[in-house]
Amino acid sequence: MEEDNLKKDKLVIAKKKFDSRLIVGTGKYKNMSECAKAIKLSGAEIVTVAVRRVNISNKKKPLLMDYIDPKKITYLPNTAGCFNSTDALRTLRLAREIGGWKLVKLEVLGDKKNLFPDMIETLKTTEVLAKEGFKVMVYCNDDPLMAKRLENSGADAIMPLAAPIGSGLGILNKINIQIIRKQTKLPLIVDAGLGQASDATIAMELGCDGVLVNTAIAKAKKPFEMALAFKNAVIAGRQSYKSGRIAKTIMGNPSSPIEGII
Protein backbone atom coordinates (compact mmCIF):
# COMPACT_ATOMS: atom_id res chain seq x y z
CA MET A 1 0.00 0.00 0.00
CA GLU A 2 2.68 2.48 1.05
CA GLU A 3 4.77 1.45 -1.94
CA ASP A 4 1.76 1.96 -4.22
CA ASN A 5 1.34 5.49 -2.89
CA LEU A 6 4.94 6.22 -3.75
CA LYS A 7 4.42 4.95 -7.28
CA LYS A 8 1.49 7.32 -7.73
CA ASP A 9 3.58 10.23 -6.47
CA LYS A 10 4.80 11.64 -9.79
CA LEU A 11 6.91 14.63 -10.65
CA VAL A 12 4.83 16.78 -13.00
CA ILE A 13 6.55 19.39 -15.17
CA ALA A 14 4.56 21.28 -17.81
CA LYS A 15 1.86 18.57 -17.60
CA LYS A 16 4.37 15.78 -18.29
CA LYS A 17 4.67 13.09 -15.62
CA PHE A 18 7.89 11.49 -14.43
CA ASP A 19 8.51 8.72 -11.90
CA SER A 20 12.04 9.83 -11.03
CA ARG A 21 12.64 13.08 -9.19
CA LEU A 22 16.33 13.06 -10.00
CA ILE A 23 17.47 15.00 -13.05
CA VAL A 24 21.08 14.50 -14.07
CA GLY A 25 23.50 16.46 -16.19
CA THR A 26 25.47 14.73 -18.93
CA GLY A 27 28.66 16.81 -18.71
CA LYS A 28 32.09 16.07 -17.24
CA TYR A 29 32.05 12.29 -17.70
CA LYS A 30 35.17 10.48 -18.96
CA ASN A 31 33.29 9.33 -22.04
CA MET A 32 29.78 8.83 -23.34
CA SER A 33 29.44 5.20 -22.32
CA GLU A 34 30.31 6.11 -18.71
CA CYS A 35 27.73 8.88 -18.88
CA ALA A 36 25.05 6.57 -20.29
CA LYS A 37 25.67 3.92 -17.63
CA ALA A 38 25.59 6.46 -14.79
CA ILE A 39 22.27 7.82 -16.09
CA LYS A 40 20.81 4.34 -16.21
CA LEU A 41 21.86 3.62 -12.63
CA SER A 42 20.53 6.96 -11.41
CA GLY A 43 17.08 6.11 -12.75
CA ALA A 44 16.82 9.65 -14.15
CA GLU A 45 14.21 10.21 -16.85
CA ILE A 46 15.34 13.74 -17.67
CA VAL A 47 18.91 14.70 -18.58
CA THR A 48 20.32 18.11 -19.34
CA VAL A 49 22.26 18.56 -22.57
CA ALA A 50 24.22 21.45 -24.06
CA VAL A 51 23.99 22.88 -27.58
CA ARG A 52 27.36 23.15 -29.30
CA ARG A 53 28.91 23.25 -32.77
CA VAL A 54 29.23 19.95 -34.62
CA ASN A 55 32.88 19.03 -35.07
CA ILE A 56 33.06 19.16 -38.85
CA SER A 57 36.69 18.06 -39.11
CA ASN A 58 36.18 14.83 -37.15
CA LYS A 59 33.24 13.09 -38.76
CA LYS A 60 33.55 9.96 -36.65
CA LYS A 61 33.18 11.66 -33.29
CA PRO A 62 30.49 9.82 -31.29
CA LEU A 63 27.14 11.57 -30.86
CA LEU A 64 25.30 11.85 -27.56
CA MET A 65 22.10 10.64 -29.21
CA ASP A 66 23.80 7.37 -30.12
CA TYR A 67 24.34 6.67 -26.41
CA ILE A 68 21.27 8.21 -24.79
CA ASP A 69 18.06 7.60 -26.72
CA PRO A 70 15.95 10.79 -26.70
CA LYS A 71 12.85 8.64 -27.21
CA LYS A 72 13.44 6.96 -23.85
CA ILE A 73 15.06 9.77 -21.86
CA THR A 74 13.76 13.35 -21.97
CA TYR A 75 16.45 15.70 -23.20
CA LEU A 76 16.45 19.03 -21.41
CA PRO A 77 18.49 21.43 -23.56
CA ASN A 78 20.22 24.09 -21.48
CA THR A 79 21.89 27.41 -22.13
CA ALA A 80 25.08 26.70 -20.20
CA GLY A 81 27.76 29.19 -21.12
CA CYS A 82 25.31 31.98 -22.05
CA PHE A 83 25.90 35.32 -20.37
CA ASN A 84 23.09 37.33 -21.95
CA SER A 85 19.53 37.02 -23.15
CA THR A 86 20.41 37.14 -26.88
CA ASP A 87 22.75 34.13 -26.66
CA ALA A 88 20.34 32.16 -24.48
CA LEU A 89 17.43 32.76 -26.87
CA ARG A 90 19.55 31.83 -29.88
CA THR A 91 20.69 28.62 -28.18
CA LEU A 92 17.21 27.46 -27.20
CA ARG A 93 15.64 28.32 -30.54
CA LEU A 94 18.33 26.16 -32.14
CA ALA A 95 17.70 23.41 -29.58
CA ARG A 96 14.01 23.42 -30.47
CA GLU A 97 14.93 23.11 -34.13
CA ILE A 98 17.06 20.00 -33.58
CA GLY A 99 14.01 17.94 -32.80
CA GLY A 100 11.05 19.87 -31.53
CA TRP A 101 12.17 20.28 -27.94
CA LYS A 102 9.97 22.71 -26.05
CA LEU A 103 10.94 21.80 -22.51
CA VAL A 104 14.17 23.67 -21.83
CA LYS A 105 16.41 24.77 -19.01
CA LEU A 106 17.31 28.43 -19.00
CA GLU A 107 20.43 29.62 -17.28
CA VAL A 108 21.91 33.03 -17.92
CA LEU A 109 25.11 33.46 -15.99
CA GLY A 110 26.36 36.79 -14.71
CA ASP A 111 29.86 36.10 -13.46
CA LYS A 112 32.50 33.79 -14.90
CA LYS A 113 34.06 33.00 -11.52
CA ASN A 114 31.13 32.29 -9.23
CA LEU A 115 28.70 31.36 -12.04
CA PHE A 116 25.82 33.07 -10.28
CA PRO A 117 22.82 33.72 -12.51
CA ASP A 118 22.14 37.17 -13.92
CA MET A 119 18.56 37.41 -12.75
CA ILE A 120 17.67 40.52 -14.76
CA GLU A 121 18.64 38.83 -18.03
CA THR A 122 17.05 35.59 -16.81
CA LEU A 123 13.68 37.24 -16.12
CA LYS A 124 13.67 39.00 -19.46
CA THR A 125 14.51 35.78 -21.31
CA THR A 126 11.91 33.71 -19.43
CA GLU A 127 9.19 36.08 -20.55
CA VAL A 128 10.21 35.86 -24.23
CA LEU A 129 10.54 32.07 -24.14
CA ALA A 130 7.15 31.61 -22.48
CA LYS A 131 5.56 33.79 -25.17
CA GLU A 132 7.20 31.67 -27.86
CA GLY A 133 5.61 28.53 -26.41
CA PHE A 134 8.65 27.11 -24.65
CA LYS A 135 8.22 25.28 -21.35
CA VAL A 136 10.93 26.91 -19.30
CA MET A 137 12.68 25.50 -16.26
CA VAL A 138 14.69 28.35 -14.84
CA TYR A 139 17.99 28.26 -12.98
CA CYS A 140 17.96 31.07 -10.43
CA ASN A 141 19.27 32.41 -7.18
CA ASP A 142 17.80 31.14 -3.93
CA ASP A 143 15.93 34.43 -3.66
CA PRO A 144 12.19 34.15 -2.92
CA LEU A 145 11.41 37.52 -4.54
CA MET A 146 13.14 36.62 -7.79
CA ALA A 147 11.50 33.19 -7.73
CA LYS A 148 8.10 34.90 -7.48
CA ARG A 149 8.91 37.21 -10.37
CA LEU A 150 9.99 34.23 -12.47
CA GLU A 151 6.69 32.55 -11.73
CA ASN A 152 4.87 35.69 -12.88
CA SER A 153 7.00 35.75 -16.04
CA GLY A 154 5.73 32.34 -17.12
CA ALA A 155 8.33 29.89 -15.78
CA ASP A 156 7.26 26.23 -15.67
CA ALA A 157 9.71 25.23 -12.93
CA ILE A 158 11.85 27.14 -10.46
CA MET A 159 15.39 25.86 -10.07
CA PRO A 160 17.25 27.67 -7.31
CA LEU A 161 20.91 26.91 -6.74
CA ALA A 162 21.98 25.10 -3.59
CA ALA A 163 25.46 26.63 -3.95
CA PRO A 164 27.65 27.77 -6.89
CA ILE A 165 27.65 25.37 -9.87
CA GLY A 166 30.11 22.52 -9.40
CA SER A 167 31.09 23.67 -5.88
CA GLY A 168 29.82 20.60 -4.00
CA LEU A 169 28.96 22.77 -0.97
CA GLY A 170 25.41 21.45 -0.52
CA ILE A 171 22.38 23.59 0.37
CA LEU A 172 23.69 26.83 1.85
CA ASN A 173 20.39 28.54 2.54
CA LYS A 174 17.75 26.07 3.63
CA ILE A 175 15.44 28.79 4.91
CA ASN A 176 15.23 30.48 1.52
CA ILE A 177 14.47 27.17 -0.18
CA GLN A 178 11.67 26.59 2.36
CA ILE A 179 10.26 30.08 1.80
CA ILE A 180 10.25 29.50 -1.96
CA ARG A 181 8.54 26.14 -1.36
CA LYS A 182 5.80 27.78 0.69
CA GLN A 183 5.07 30.47 -1.87
CA THR A 184 4.96 28.42 -5.08
CA LYS A 185 3.01 25.50 -6.46
CA LEU A 186 5.35 25.27 -9.45
CA PRO A 187 7.82 22.39 -9.52
CA LEU A 188 10.76 23.39 -7.32
CA ILE A 189 14.02 21.73 -8.23
CA VAL A 190 17.30 22.39 -6.48
CA ASP A 191 19.91 22.85 -9.15
CA ALA A 192 23.67 23.14 -8.76
CA GLY A 193 26.10 22.88 -5.89
CA LEU A 194 25.22 19.50 -4.40
CA GLY A 195 28.22 17.43 -3.29
CA GLN A 196 26.95 14.16 -1.89
CA ALA A 197 23.82 12.04 -1.76
CA SER A 198 22.65 13.36 1.62
CA ASP A 199 22.45 16.88 0.12
CA ALA A 200 19.76 15.55 -2.21
CA THR A 201 17.88 14.01 0.71
CA ILE A 202 17.93 17.37 2.51
CA ALA A 203 16.61 19.14 -0.60
CA MET A 204 13.74 16.68 -0.82
CA GLU A 205 13.02 16.95 2.92
CA LEU A 206 12.75 20.72 2.51
CA GLY A 207 9.86 19.99 0.16
CA CYS A 208 11.55 20.30 -3.21
CA ASP A 209 9.97 18.37 -6.07
CA GLY A 210 13.31 17.21 -7.41
CA VAL A 211 17.03 17.80 -7.67
CA LEU A 212 19.42 18.29 -10.56
CA VAL A 213 22.91 16.85 -10.19
CA ASN A 214 25.86 16.66 -12.52
CA THR A 215 29.34 17.16 -11.07
CA ALA A 216 28.68 15.29 -7.80
CA ILE A 217 28.02 12.12 -9.81
CA ALA A 218 30.31 12.63 -12.82
CA LYS A 219 33.35 13.58 -10.75
CA ALA A 220 32.86 11.16 -7.85
CA LYS A 221 35.65 8.57 -7.58
CA LYS A 222 33.04 5.95 -8.42
CA PRO A 223 30.38 7.65 -10.57
CA PHE A 224 28.20 4.54 -10.93
CA GLU A 225 27.96 3.97 -7.19
CA MET A 226 27.31 7.67 -6.64
CA ALA A 227 24.54 7.65 -9.28
CA LEU A 228 22.86 4.87 -7.32
CA ALA A 229 23.42 6.69 -4.03
CA PHE A 230 21.70 9.82 -5.40
CA LYS A 231 18.81 7.76 -6.71
CA ASN A 232 18.22 6.27 -3.26
CA ALA A 233 18.83 9.58 -1.49
CA VAL A 234 16.14 11.34 -3.52
CA ILE A 235 13.63 8.54 -2.85
CA ALA A 236 14.49 8.56 0.89
CA GLY A 237 14.13 12.35 1.09
CA ARG A 238 10.79 12.36 -0.69
CA GLN A 239 9.41 9.57 1.52
CA SER A 240 10.65 11.36 4.61
CA TYR A 241 9.03 14.63 3.53
CA LYS A 242 5.72 12.95 2.76
CA SER A 243 5.78 11.09 6.09
CA GLY A 244 5.67 14.25 8.21
CA ARG A 245 8.63 14.61 10.54
CA ILE A 246 8.33 14.90 14.34
CA ALA A 247 8.52 18.28 16.05
CA LYS A 248 11.92 19.38 17.32
CA THR A 249 12.36 19.76 21.10
CA ILE A 250 15.41 20.87 23.05
CA MET A 251 14.84 18.38 25.88
CA GLY A 252 15.05 14.59 25.79
CA ASN A 253 11.98 12.42 25.45
CA PRO A 254 12.45 8.74 26.30
CA SER A 255 11.55 6.18 23.68
CA SER A 256 10.63 3.51 26.25
CA PRO A 257 7.63 3.87 28.59
CA ILE A 258 8.33 5.20 32.11
CA GLU A 259 5.50 3.09 33.55
CA GLY A 260 6.52 -0.28 34.90
CA ILE A 261 10.16 0.61 35.50
CA ILE A 262 11.65 -1.80 38.04
CA angle 183, 21, 132 (to 5 degrees): 65
Alpha-carbon span 158 to 119, nearest angstrom: 12
105 a catalytic residue? yes
CB 261 to other proteins: min, Å: 57
203, 182 contact by CB (below 8 A): no
From 8, 15, 59, 248, residue interacting with other proteins (rule: CB under 8 A): 59
> Whose Cβ is closer to other proteins: residue 80's or residue 155's?
80
- DSSP secondary structure letters along 203-262: HHHTT-SEEEESHHHHTSSSHHHHHHHHHHHHHHHHHHHHH-PPPP-SS---SS-STT--
Q: Which CA distances in Å does 189 have to 13, 46, 52, 180? A: 10, 12, 25, 11
**Can residue 167 be called a binding residue for other proteins (CB under 8 A)?**
no
> Whose Cβ is closer to other proteins: residue 70's or residue 207's?
70
Alpha-carbon span 53 to 4, nearest angstrom: 45
Residues in 22-41 that interact with other proteins by CB under 8 A: 25-29, 32, 35
Residues in 186-245 that interact with other proteins by CB under 8 A: 192, 214-215
Alpha-carbon span 186 to 148, nearest angstrom: 10
CB 130 to other proteins: min, Å: 19
From 95, 155, 157, 177, residue interacting with other proteins (rule: CB under 8 A): 95
From 42, 48, 141, 153, residue interacting with other proteins (rule: CB under 8 A): 48
CB 185 to other proteins: min, Å: 27
CB 160 to other proteins: min, Å: 16
Write down the catalytic residue from 7, 17, 60, 105.
105
From 165, 190, 234, 235, residue interacting with other proteins (rule: CB under 8 A): 165
Neighbouring CB atoms inside 10 A of 259's CB total 5
Residues taking part in catalysis: 105
